[in-house]
Amino acid sequence: MRYKSQSVAYWYFAVAMVLFGLQLVFGLLSATKYLGPDPLLYILPFDVTKVIHTNLLIVWVLTGFMGATYWMIPDESRTELYSVKLAYIQLILWTLMGVTAVIGYLFRYGTGNKLLEQPLPHKLVIVICMLIFLYNIGMTIKRSGRFTTTEGVLVLGLVSSAVLFFPALLHYENYTVSIFYRWWTIHLWVEGVWMMIMGGFLAYLLIRLSGADREVMEKWLYVIVGLVFLAGILGTAHHYYWVGVPYYWLPIGGFFSALEPLAIVGMAMYAYGAMRRSGLAHPNVLALHWTLGSAIFTLFGAGLLGLAHTWPSINKWTHGTLITAMHGHAAFYGAYAMIVLAMISYALPSLTHGRTERGSSIGYWAFWLQLGGMFGMTLSFATAGIGQVYLERIMGMGYLDAQLKIQIHFVMLIVCGTLFSTGVGLFIYDFFRYRPRFEVSEPEVTDNEVAVGRVV
């Protein structure tokens, strides 16, 4: 840690860890309900556990993004944060918003609009938090006068996330139109601007961990951003299948979402190439695992498994089945959960006392258990989904009867989910095992060091 204000990241990460743990509790509960019968039918029915599961995901990943940004910006701009106080106010507001939203869901206080269930007051608090955040980051960069490309991509991603949230605040009379604009927020977040954020973090980590040449890395970052948007913006069309929009969205969705993996392949090649060229010299090998792991798992979950059901003539049969859950779990985990865990693993040795730079064996157990568990969960959803598509959609068996025939895959889901949760539990334990440290541990960068190439 070179700048004292970077330590705010610790508290953001800590909140993210707690919410991540909580997310899994509700995930496991939801999974067991697939097996049924459900003793909690009138206490915590599926719709409640599911809405909390997905909302906690969004909140903790965004908390992680914010923490990681507060960690990264001082490093990149070589200055203290503009206001530490604002950063804490933002965290408190944000956490209160998240916690009260979850409590509200327990009592069915929500909009019932998929993934945008937050009631209007909560949505407004989200906007306020976003504005505080962007103001703080913007002022930090402005004051320092140093603005790197990596940072630029990250900040542009964050600003666009805030802008794209606005359609979610409006009310639509026509259900089809409300679906149309819901995806402006959700899809363009997940497959557009969040990808940019991920790309920014990835570039930062690769430059630091592998010592790869900044000039080269930033050039390719541009290419990746171009590909993300070229395919991602028009790729929104794959959410417009079968919802009551004009027919031309079908071929557009097919073509551009088939292009979407290009950016992801680019990202994986980029990470691998950086490692090949510059070696694996950095002592924080655990952070390296998470960084490369994220690039590769994204390729699998978002790229390959997305492509598997994105073509209209296939999606016609798989739409709205567990095939979607298969893709959703692997993609979100690989692209967003893992990149946040990578940033945490990178920052943690200097944010806590007594932690070795290479990472502990508990840290590696956490990595491999999570990876294995999530891979197994993905396969469980995949096998269940394939069974469902054939029995229900192609053979014409009733939904409830088809679900009975694929019970064994739900057993597998719960077993793998338990493995995964064990991995996450270890990660959280490892996180809180050491006392946080709030003093500067590395000297500030001087111009001379930059000149002789000692810092990147």
- What element of type H or E holds 60? helix 46-77
Task: Classify 381 as helix, strand or coil.
Answer: helix
Please identify, among the stretches 221-229, 274-282, 352-360, 434-442, the one whose residues bind other proteins according to the rule CB under 8 A.
Answer: 221-229
- 192: exposed, middle or buried (C-beta count within 10 Å: 0-12, 13-18, 19+)? buried
CA pair distance 148, 188, nearest whole angstrom: 24
Smallest separation (angstroms) from other proteins to the CB of 282: 25
- Asked if 336 contacts 297 with a C-beta cutoff of 8 angstroms, the reply is no
Q: Which residues contact 113 (CB under 8 A, 6 or more apart)?
A: 178, 182
Residue 239 has a CB neighbour count (10 Å cut-off) of 20
**Using rule CB under 8 A, residue 218 touches other proteins:** yes
Segment contacting other proteins by CB under 8 A, of 57-65, 218-226, 331-339, 365-373: 218-226
Binding mask 278-297 for other proteins (x = CB under 8 A): --------------------
Name the minimum Å distance from CB 198 to other proteins.
16
| Residue 437 Cα distances to 143, 212, 409, angstroms | 26, 29, 45
Distance CA 286, CA 449 (A): 27
- Residues 202, 197: Cα–Cα separation, whole Å: 8
- Minimum CB distance to other proteins, residue 187 (Å): 11
Question: Site residues for other proteins, window 143-182 (CB under 8 A)?
Answer: 173-177, 179-180
Which range, of 33-41, 82-90, 91-99, 121-129, touches other proteins by CB under 8 A?
33-41
Provide the minimum distance between the beta carbon of 125 and other proteins in the complex, in angstroms, as a whole number: 20
Of 143, 276, 316, 454, the residue at the interface with other proteins (CB under 8 A) is 316
Minimum Å gap between C-beta 432 and other proteins is 32
Shortest reach from residue 387's CB to other proteins, in Å: 13
Closer residue to other proteins in complex, CB, 215/439? 215
Report which DSSP code applies to 148: -
Contacting residue, 27, 64, 67, 110, with other proteins by CB under 8 A: 110
Sorted by sequence, the CB contacts under 8 Å of residue 56 that are 6+ apart come out as 19, 20, 22, 23, 26, 98, 102
Q: Distance (Å, rounded) from C-alpha 29 to C-alpha 37? A: 12
Please report whether residue 324 would count as binding other proteins according to CB under 8 A. yes
Identify residues 80-99 at the interface with other proteins (CB under 8 A). Answer: none
Q: Is residue 35 a contact point for other proteins (CB under 8 A)? A: yes
One character per residue 230-259, x = contact with other proteins (rule: CB under 8 A): xxxxx-x----xxxxxxxxxx-x-------
Contact predicate 193/435, CB 8 Å: no
Strand partners, 352: 436
Please say whether the beta carbons of 410 and 349 come within 8 A: no
410 in Cβ contact with 381 (< 8 Å): no
Stretches 90-98, 215-223, 283-291, 302-310: which one binds other proteins (CB under 8 A)?
215-223
* Cβ-contact 205, 196 below 8 angstroms: no
Binding status of residue 226 toward other proteins by CB under 8 A? yes
Smallest separation, CB 43 to other proteins (Å)? 10
User: Of 407 and 441, which has the nearer Cβ to other proteins?
Assistant: 407
- Total residues contacting other proteins by CB under 8 A comes to 78
Nearest CB to other proteins, comparing residues 94 and 229: 229
- Rounded-to-integer distance, Cα 198 and Cα 204, Å: 10
CA distance linking residue 192 with residue 262, whole number of Å: 13
Point out which span in 125-133, 211-219, 270-278, 433-441 binds other proteins (CB under 8 A).
211-219
47 binds other proteins (CB under 8 A): yes
Of 328 and 359, which has the nearer Cβ to other proteins? 328
Do 165 and 127 form a contact (C-beta atoms < 8 A)?
yes
x-marked contacts with other proteins along 3-32 as a string, rule CB under 8 A:
---------------------------x--
- Of residues 379-418, which lie at the interface with other proteins (CB under 8 A)? 391-401, 403-404, 407
Whether a cis peptide bond, with omega within 30° of 0, leads into 37 is yes
Other Cβ atoms within 10 Å of 101 Cβ, number: 24
- Using CB under 8 A as the binding rule, whether residue 320 contacts other proteins is answered as yes
CA atoms within 13 A on the CB side of 362: 14
Nearest CB to other proteins, comparing residues 117 and 430: 117
3-state helix, strand, coil split of the chain in percent (to 5) is 80, 0, 20
User: Is the CB of 93 or the CB of 414 nearer to other proteins?
Assistant: 414
Q: Which stretch binds other proteins (CB under 8 A): 36-44, 69-77, 84-92, 122-130?
A: 36-44
Task: Give the residue from 284, 340, 286, 351 showing the smallest Cα distance to 67.
Answer: 340
Least distance in angstroms from the C-beta of 236 to other proteins = 7
For other proteins, the closer CB: 59 or 342: 59
Least separation in angstroms between residue 325's CB and other proteins is 6
